[in-house]
Amino acid sequence: MKLWTLALCLLAAVAGAQAKTNVWQPSAGHVQIPIWPGTPPDAQPMPGPEYATTSKKLIGGKPVVAVVNVSRPTMTVYAPTANNTGAAVVVFPGGGFQILAIDLEGTEICHWLTSEGITCVLLKYRVPGTPYDWHCKCYPDDFAISTQALDDAQRTIGLVRLHAKQWRIDPHKVGVIGFSAGGFLIAEVSTHFKRLYKPVDAADKESARPDFALAIYPGHLTADGHTFNKNLPVTRVTPPTFLVQAEDDDVDGVQQSLVYFEALKQAGVPAELHIYAHGGHAFGLRHTADPITDWPKLADKWLRTIDIVPG
């Protein structure tokens, strides 16, 4: 079993061993909005009811809250706290498609984005699901498409564009950011624009293509450590992409970002890649002594260079 597979299996096991608490709820003033009017497409049975759990391990001096067994996906909209730039970003937390690191790679990301004048939409997508099975056994070949999560991602981007006027968003400045497994979901939604599910309503008439993408220590982009995942057809219409990863990432490995960057460049897609010597995996934007945790400053500059926010 590869090291990053083992690490995510252990993460899922630890989460399941923690004392169960109430279902996660966002902070006061924010409401989870179901993204599907009825039963979601491609619905699968869950191992149990949804719950939230808090890790004993600290990252950046704080524990991590994980959401487990999500069968009813939701989005939570965070309005800008600074001058509204008109840009919006949908956030995909990581967790190996087993859990969702809902604060480390979710709400904390929204606090940063809204302080930059960007509307943030936190997606609580369905887990557990592919590209792992529920026993943490990896697919033997290139990682399969995460159908449920991709359904949820495509649907949410459409909903954001449908509500663009109401939420004071420029429908041509709707991007995505994802971490670890969420980084794989970034690549999926950046290369699969045609919806996998039968249209439900007006939201599904809107484009599901992101205008820009940020993949932070992404995973599952290569199965063998060298070859880019053939299930991610990068083309010239794949959106501009920003990538960050640590060379000593022993969970997903730096090769994940390298193969994706190379695929983007071969297709003529504008891309920016930052590789750091140290940082490991799953740090979110919690600041530590490692320089990689300053990556949000680089992302801010990149968003200005591609004219998403004012220079």
CATH code: domain of residue 225: 3.40.50.1820
Question: What count of Cα atoms within 13 Å lies in the side-chain half-sphere of residue 306?
Answer: 23
Is the confidence at residue 121, as pLDDT, over 70? yes
* pLDDT (0 to 100) of residue 145: 72
Residue 256 lies in a domain: yes
Is the confidence at residue 13, as pLDDT, over 70? no
Boundaries of domain holding 235: 3-305
Residue 257 lies in a domain: yes
Count of structural domains within the chain: 1
Percent of the chain with pLDDT over 70: 88
Find residue 222's DSSP bridge partners.
228
> Residues 100-115: pLDDT tens digits?
999 999 999 999 999 9
Residue 311 lies in a domain: no
User: Torsion over CA of 63, 117, 189 and 293, rounded to 10 degrees?
Assistant: -40
Residue 310 lies in a domain: no
Structural contact between residues 221 and 185, judged by C-beta atoms closer than 8 angstroms? no
Residue 102 lies in a domain: yes
Residues in Cβ contact with 305 at an 8 Å cutoff, skipping those fewer than 6 apart: 311
Return d(Cα 148, Cα 44) in angstroms, integer.
9
Mean pLDDT on 173-190: 97
Lowest mean per-residue pLDDT among 56-65, 68-77, 139-148, 223-232: 139-148
| Top-ranked range on mean pLDDT: pick from 130-144, 169-183, 215-229 | 169-183
Report pTM.
0.91
